[in-house]
Amino acid sequence: MLRMRLRLIPLLAVFAFTAAVIQAETAPAYDEAAITEQLTQLGLQVNNVSASPVTGLAQVFTNRGLFFVSNDGAYFFEGNVFDIQNRQLVNEQQMRPFRQQQLQQHNDFIEYKAKDEKHVVTVFTDPSCGYCRRLHNDMKDYNKAGITVRYLAFPRGGLQSETNDELEAIWCSRDKNSSMDRAKAGRSVSAVACRNPVANHYNLGQAFGVTGTPAIVLPNGQLIPGYQPADALAQQLNN
């Protein structure tokens, strides 16, 4: 019995060492608690922390978009990270699946559906924005090109602005499309109060990295800031 125990000791030591190595290899290199604490102090709400494609950096999805942080949480990078080898923005590539996943949870948009639908785009809009009105004026061209447009609200002046109130009235109206048409034409919309998704849309836009309107999200999750003519947008979607 003593001999058997002595034989088991080296085996147990090997198993313990192997388990420790596996645990060390699978443990994340970043300190999630430290990163969360540091970004919270900056006024950011951390939604998810994960390893990034960049060695030494973690990627953090927040209520204000995607940021890169040193693994120890000591350094915060605000701006784009460019992948030289693949010639692409790392920020945008990492954000695309996040946007796709989040948009699947929303059905409270105002839709302008194409009869022969080929593509569906989501547009964060503000009725007082000049280029938003230009995009809306081209709605027949988008629909003719097979592009369905789904609007989400993004009051540029924030949730305490007059535009926010106008967007809430649009989403609370019985005929949302007609109210949107009136607002885009510079006409007033009757004030109506109800539970509405405007604040949720605004927060979603900020999490997507939207800073202005219009902001177009393609089916693959790519974000295009600004107005796009119907033919140019159709070409990009077809490609």
Residues catalogued as catalytic? 126, 129, 132, 156
Could you tell me which of 127, 111, 119, 113 has the C-alpha nearest to residue 163? 127
Which tokens hold the place of 88?
A: 């692409």
Question: Partners of 123 in the beta sheet?
Answer: 151, 216
In this structure, what are the phi and psi dihedrals at residue 54, rounded to the nearest 5 degrees?
-95, 120
Whether residue 147 contacts residue 104, with contact meaning beta carbons closer than 8 Å, is answered with no
Query: 30 in helix, strand or coil?
Result: coil
Q: Which residues contact 108 (CB under 8 A, 6 or more apart)?
A: 171, 197, 200, 201
Q: Rounded to 10 degrees, what is the CA torsion of 33, 35, 38, 44? A: -110
Q: Which residues contact 113 (CB under 8 A, 6 or more apart)?
A: 143, 148
Could you tell me which of 98, 115, 215, 116 has the C-alpha nearest to residue 156? 215
